[in-house]
Amino acid sequence: MKLNFEHVQAAHCENGVTRNLLKHAGVNFITEPLAFGIGSGLFYIHLPFMKVNGGPAISFRTQPGLIFKRTAKSLDIKIIRKKFSSEEEAQKALDECLQQGQPAGCQVGVYYLTYFPKEYRFHFNAHNLVVFGKEDDNYIISDPIMEYTTTLNSYELNRVRFAKGFLAPKGQLYYPEKAKEITVEQIQRAIKKGIKLNLRDMLHIPGSFAGVSGIAYTGRKIKKWRDKLGIQKAGSYLAQIVRMQEEIGTGGGGFRFLYGAFLQEANQYFHKDELLDISKQFTQAGDQWRNAAVQASGIYKGRITSQADFDVMGDYLIKISEMEKKAFQELSKVKLDA
Amino acid sequence: MNKENVPQDLGALGKLTTEVCYVTDENGKYVTELSNGWQIKSEALDVAWHDIEEKVNAAKRKVENNEASPILFFMELRVMDPAILSAYTGFWKWTIKRHMKPSVFKKLSGDKLKRYAEVFDISVEQLKTMNAHEA
């Protein structure tokens, strides 16, 4: 059995699942950038006392699950979300969903995801996909980062749904209920709310290591890494930042482009030229993140390793922090009245 | 990023699927474009796997020198840390630390060895001899 479900590839898994599930529920206007912006997906945090894989703990995104939750809530759509204590129960609930014609979003760990290349399989438990069919023992999977749909057998699917460790999915399954008609006013309100929340997260969050000031915090840290950690370890740290920034699931640099795309789409609902200008600023910030990655690669490849090179690297982030701060400040001044 | 600057450097993921990028076209309008990967990030991934390989090798030497039990080796091989291993096996982190001592490992019950072997996806025999197959 294969449900009628449109698999559309996305830049980021949670946006993709959000867009695809909401579209299935009848939310026709939704696109990936709108899901991302309404769900206020843009974020930055550098947790100073925590390590991930022995390197810095940095996240470019909001907490997993929030993009879907906020987007659905802003559009007044109820979410059904279940967690399970046993694999049997979780599988039964999934089968019931499919029998009722409901594709289901699942949170999974990527370590045992058989269709992923080995190089990508770390113990990261906040990946998202949609199950929308079952043939014999094989579940038909829409993984938004993949070009085509794929399959997992019940053993493989249970294993990733019950991955253990940080952010363990616990068989989590979710889907939106059918949407009522969504008006343009409602979309406008959702966009405004998404922007407002992002302003809070990036500009007004207290402390020095989150939001736009967090980016500069990392920049200042990087300048000290050469002395503190030695060239090789500092290089590994920078490689980790680039992975967090560029890889699927985290998507930091790419998120700036997505936010730029979101503001352009938002402009179609508000017709404020300022949005287009601010969109450009986020595009520039995204480009600058990519330039910073190029500088970082020079260091982790051992090509450039002087203190001056580390200073350039740190300054990139300090500059990006200023760019994003300015963009968000201007965004906070735009009067979004329809 | 401009549409024409989207990198097409074949990376690990690029062999299986392209990735969607949001980029601007010649009029500054956002569109999507597919990428096969970016060398900069493939190299960052290489660094991560190189670090893992070094940790695995260091663990192997420790086991051979009788400074650690094979649990350390397999934990590194499966890209785990004590927290993840604890979550999968149900043992406390401090218990796992104890089990990493060769003297304690030698006395572990078959039941406990089996729990580790299952999580590492190997046989008890392989666990004892540190003879692993590919993941």
pLDDT digits (tens, 9 = 90+) for A113-128: 999 988 889 999 999 9
Q: At what angle do helices A13-24 and A66-74 cross, to 10 degrees?
A: 30
A276 CB neighbours in chain B (<8 A) are 28
Same domain flag for B61 and B25: no
Q: Which of A176, A197, A213 finishes a domain?
A: A176
Same domain flag for A17 and A121: yes
- The contacts of residue A47 (CB under 8 Å, 6+ apart) are A57, A58, A59, A209
Same domain flag for B58 and B123: yes
Same domain flag for A78 and A170: yes
Same domain flag for B30 and B80: no
**Residues B13, A120: C-beta atoms closer than 8 Å:** yes
Is A286 an interface residue toward B (CB < 8 Å)? yes
**Residues A239, B12: C-beta atoms closer than 8 Å:** no
Q: Is A162 a domain residue?
A: yes
> Which residues are paired to A59 by β-bridges?
A45
Same domain flag for B122 and B57: yes
Q: Is B74 a domain residue?
A: yes
Range of the domain at B21: 3-37
Same domain flag for B66 and B25: no
Tokens standing for residue B111: 């039941």
Tell me how many domains chain A contains. 2
**Residues A11, B20: C-beta atoms closer than 8 Å:** yes
| Burial bucket for residue B111 (CB in 10 Å: 0-12, 13-18, 19+) | exposed
Alpha helices (H) in chain B, listed in sequence order: 39-64, 70-77, 82-89, 93-99, 102-106, 110-120, 124-129
**Three-state secondary structure string covering chain A:** CECCCCCCCCCCHHHHHHHHHHHHCCCCCCCHHHHHHHCCCEEEEEEEEEEECCEEEEEEECCCCHHHHHHHHHCCCCEEEECCCCHHHHHHHHHHHHHCCCCEEEEECCCCCCCCCHHHCCCCCCEEEEEEEEECCEEEEECCCCCCCEEEEHHHHHHHHCCCCCCCCCCCEEEECCCCCCCHHHHHHHHHHHHHHHHHHHHHCCCCCEHHHHHHHHHHHHHHHHHHHCHHHHHHHHHHHHHHHHCCCCCHHHHHHHHHHHHHHHHHHHCCHHHHHHHHHHHHHHHHHHHHHHHHHHHHCCCCCCHHHHHHHHHHHHHHHHHHHHHHHHHHHCCCCC
pTM of the model: 0.94
Cα distance between residue A289 and residue A45, in whole Å: 15
CATH number at residue B113: 1.10.260
The yes-or-no verdict on residue A247 having pLDDT over 90 is: no
Q: Is A275 a domain residue?
A: yes
Q: Which of A153, A176, A199 finishes a domain?
A: A176
Which of residues 202 through 221 in chain A touch B, CB cutoff 8 A? none
Chain B interface, mutation test: which of A300, A313, A316, most B Cβ atoms within 10 Å? A300
Cα distance between residue A260 and residue A180, in whole Å: 29
**Closest to A264 (Cβ–Cβ): which among B29, B80, B87?**
B29
Same domain flag for A120 and A192: no
Q: Is B29 a domain residue?
A: yes
Q: Is A51 a domain residue?
A: yes
> CA gyration radius for chain B?
21
Same domain flag for A68 and A94: yes
Length of chain B measured in residues: 135
- SS3 category, B29: coil
The yes-or-no verdict on residue A248 having pLDDT over 70 is: no
Same domain flag for A312 and A247: yes
Same domain flag for A46 and A148: yes
Q: Is A86 a domain residue?
A: yes
Is B13 an interface residue toward A (CB < 8 Å)? yes
Tens digit of pLDDT for each residue in A250-270? 566 789 999 999 999 999 999
B19 CB neighbours in chain A (<8 A) are 11, 145, 248
Tell me how many domains chain B contains. 2
Same domain flag for A143 and A201: no
Q: Is B7 a domain residue?
A: yes
Chain B interface, mutation test: which of A19, A283, A291, most B Cβ atoms within 10 Å? A283
Would you tell me how many other CB atoms lie within 10 Å of the CB of residue B112?
Answer: 15
Q: Is A337 a domain residue?
A: no
**Residues A246, B28: C-beta atoms closer than 8 Å:** no
Is A290 an interface residue toward B (CB < 8 Å)? yes
Instruction: Identify the pLDDT of residue B115.
Output: 97
Instruction: Identify the pLDDT of residue A338.
Output: 59
| Closest chain A residue to the Cα of B30, Cα to Cα | A261
Would you tell me how many other CB atoms lie within 10 Å of the CB of residue B47?
Answer: 21
Is A122 an interface residue toward B (CB < 8 Å)? yes
The yes-or-no verdict on residue A287 having pLDDT over 50 is: yes
Q: Is A7 a domain residue?
A: no
Same domain flag for B10 and B62: no
CA-CA-CA-CA torsion sign (B8, B10, B12, B13): positive
Same domain flag for A127 and A101: yes
Same domain flag for B80 and B28: no
Q: Tens-digit pLDDT profile for chain B (135 aa)?
A: 999 999 999 888 888 889 999 999 999 999 999 999 999 999 999 999 999 999 999 999 999 999 999 999 999 999 999 999 999 999 999 999 999 999 999 999 999 999 999 999 999 999 999 876 554
Tokens standing for residue B119: 């999580």
Same domain flag for B14 and B61: no
Q: Kindly state the average pLDDT of the residues A65-87.
A: 96
**Residues B49, A119: C-beta atoms closer than 8 Å:** yes
B48 CB neighbours in chain A (<8 A) are 53, 236, 239-240, 243
Is B10 an interface residue toward A (CB < 8 Å)? no
- The contacts of residue A226 (CB under 8 Å, 6+ apart) are A234, A305, A307, A310
Model ipTM?
Answer: 0.93
Same domain flag for A153 and A198: no
CATH number at residue A38: 3.90.70.10
Average pLDDT, chain A: 94
Range of the domain at A238: 184-332
Same domain flag for B84 and B27: no
A164 CB neighbours in chain B (<8 A) are 84, 87-88
Same domain flag for B61 and B119: yes
Same domain flag for A170 and A209: no
Same domain flag for A226 and A115: no
Q: How far is B25 from chain A (nearest CA, A)?
A: 12
Tokens standing for residue A86: 């046993």
Instruction: Identify the pLDDT of residue A99.
Output: 97
Same domain flag for B14 and B62: no
**Residues B41, A168: C-beta atoms closer than 8 Å:** no
Q: Is B94 a domain residue?
A: yes
Instruction: Identify the pLDDT of residue B135.
Output: 45
**Closest to A239 (Cβ–Cβ): which among B30, B38, B48?**
B48
Q: Is B103 a domain residue?
A: yes
Same domain flag for B23 and B79: no
Same domain flag for A77 and A47: yes
Q: How far is B38 from chain A (nearest CA, A)?
A: 9
Q: Is B78 a domain residue?
A: yes
Instruction: Identify the pLDDT of residue A66.
Output: 94
